[in-house]
């Protein structure tokens, strides 16, 4: 999945955009961790 970063001359807008990307990235990592933890739990139950 490619993340397209629109270029803007407005530095503040770019900073906000990068902050949103980081936020989304950390949310995805959190979900990933939860899924992995759950998989290990299920694996242990089988």
- Please give the structure tokens belonging to residue 35: 């899924």
* Torsion over CA: 3, 9, 12, 13 (sign): negative
pLDDT tens digits, residue range 2-34? Answer: 777 666 666 677 788 889 999 999 999 999 999
Output the pLDDT for position 29: 94
Residue 29 near residue 11 (C-beta atoms within 8 A): no
Separation in Å, CA 1 to CA 16, 37, 46 = 21, 24, 33
The C-alpha angle with vertex 33 and arms to 36 and 42, in degrees rounded to 5, equals 25
pTM comes to 0.55
């Amino acid at each position: 999945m490619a993340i397209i970063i629109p270029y803007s001359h407005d530095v503040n807008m770019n900073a906000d955009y990068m902050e949103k990307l980081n936020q989304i990235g950390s949310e995805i990592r959190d979900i990933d961790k939860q899924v992995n933890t759950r998989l290990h739990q299920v694996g242990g139950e089988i």
